[in-house]
Structure 1
Amino acid sequence: MDRIAILKLNGFLLVTIQVEMHDQLVLRLQDDLTQMLERTRASGVLIDISGLDIVDSFIGRSLAQIAAIARVMNAATVLVGMKPAVAITMVELGMSLAGVRTAVNVDKGMVLLHEAAGLEAR
């Protein structure tokens, strides 16, 4: 079964989604990320969705749920790489990503995670 890699870097977890997501893959990512948060005690999660051309309502809700789980586990979530068409679709569908900060790219997202963790950005 497909899996999305979750990397640990300097106290943060990095998730780069480079394939189109289907429901089972989203659920597996949610489970895997929750387990990694428990194991690593990471203070932040950066999710790069630059590889996604489409975000449907299920994927949007799942991203919001991942952020909520991370928040409960004391980790901030930053979503990066959102394409304009994806942003427009999410707004049109009435999706909100409560508790999720966004940034244009990974570098800016890492700055936000450092700020959320009370660390100086490198």
Structure 2
Amino acid sequence: MTSPRLFSILRQGLHLIASVHTALDDSQLVRFQADLVERIGADRARGVVIDVAALDVLDSFGSRTLRDIAEMARLRGAVTVIVGIQPDVAFAMVELGMDTGSVVTALDLEEGLAELDRCLAASPLPGP
């Protein structure tokens, strides 16, 4: 029997949508990071949405990994938006002094894609 997917990475135009389906341990988070950064280059993605709506906990390693993914994506030419942070997770992150750094966040996938479009409109693709 096949085990359920822990995360998925789908392409939508110039963007990648990465959804975390369940809580990931540290090694799974590192795998997610490696897979996503690889796909950014392979798909020549300009934007990345990371959907964490399924997570009811986000520890310091997880939030640092998300910041690292966003920085790696930026170095590869893509903008990252994190979406779906649950209210209880946001509350706990603030209480514990954790943050997402300079990574843009949005309420849900729809708002995340709109934010990517705004960011990319502000810095269009370089011309020939």
Instruction: Describe the superposition over 1:60-100 as per-residue Cα deviations: whole angstroms up to 9, x where unpaired.
Output: 11001001111111111111111111111111222221231
Question: What SS does the corresponding residue of 2:54 show, helix, strand or coil?
Answer: coil
Query: Of 13, 17, 20, which aligns to 2:20?
Result: 17
Q: CA deviation at 1:3?
A: 4.9
2:40 and 2:96 mapped to 1: Cα distance?
A: 30
The alignment of Structure 1 onto Structure 2 pairs a total of residues equal to: 119
Corresponding position of 2:52: 49
Establish whether residue 92 from structure 1 lines up as the match of residue 114 from structure 2: no
Q: Which runs of 5 or more residues in structure 1 are unaligned?
A: none
Corresponding position of 2:81: 78
1:46 and 1:10 mapped to 2: Cα distance?
A: 12
Question: What SS does the corresponding residue of 1:115 show, helix, strand or coil?
Answer: helix
Q: Which runs of 5 or more residues in structure 2 are unaligned?
A: 123-128
> Which of structures 1 and 2 has the bigger CA Rg?
2
Alignment root-mean-square deviation, CA: 1.5
Q: TM-score, normalised by structure 1?
A: 0.91
Question: What SS does the corresponding residue of 1:96 show, helix, strand or coil?
Answer: coil
Which structure 1 residue ranges, 4+ long, deviate > 3 Å from structure 2? none
Query: Of 34, 39, 42, which aligns to 1:39?
Result: 42
Map 1:111-122 onto structure 2 (within 5 A).
111-118=114-121
